[in-house]
Structure 1
């Protein structure tokens, strides 16, 4: 079975309107049941994400996402995850960072508008 693009867009709209979502960075990837190793310490904090309207089964961040300046080495970010809480909470969506990035003290990790894509396909 498959959803049409219209059906995918409706589900993404429900997801978008269901609440607030916070982006986390991982140094070891999570999976279907969670897990992985989220960055901790050094001023790290999950960041609130705003999404634009879905189109053709995809939805993108509608504003830049910027993590605070690292005050310690965070490791190499290899994956991301969306949580339903700023801390704790549930992992609801995750993905691979296309180009893993080593984050050192003094670095700022930024995802420009439109560069975080959620896909239903």
Structure 2
């Protein structure tokens, strides 16, 4: 997910870089699966049904402008759907969407399937 910060994340990062505010997401960060991708200004269509819920994620320290999930992210009991992308949200009272991106290959799931992103496969970069 290179260069896929939401408008909110871009603005907060610029404010922080310019010293005009301190900002950070409310942890833990959560991964959301989408069936239609969003854009800088609009969230995608999030999966619903089955046992689906957003999952906590952890990431390693950034190296060369990139990072990735440091542990597997696993959803079980998924509804029948085609997952086309992932979004990263925080845990604020009104959650903020920080990042979004398309999957290289969509994942078509049957009811009850598992969806897994092994450690290191959900990559985020500013490059």
- Which TM-score band (shorter chain)? 0.7 to 0.9
After superposition, residues 35-114 of structure 1 pair within 5 angstroms as 35-70=43-78, 72-73=79-80, 75-85=81-91, 89-114=95-120
Return the alpha-carbon distance in structure 2 between the equivalents of residues 25 and 61 of structure 1.
Answer: 15
TM-score, L = length of structure 2 = 0.75
Task: Report how far residue 50 of structure 1 moved.
Answer: 0.5
1:119 aligns with: 125
Q: CA RMSD in A?
A: 2.4
Gaps (5+ residues) in structure 2? 1-16
1:8-23 equivalence runs, <5 A: 19-23=27-31
State the alpha-carbon separation in 2 of the partners of residues 87 and 97 from structure 1. 28
What is the TM-score when the length of structure 1 is the normalising length?
Answer: 0.79
Q: How many residue pairs get matched?
A: 107
Extract unaligned runs of 5+ from structure 1.
1-10
Provide the C-alpha distance between the structure 2 equivalents of 1:95 and 1:69, rounded to a whole number of angstroms. Answer: 23
Greater RCO between the two (CA within 8 Å, min separation 6)?
2
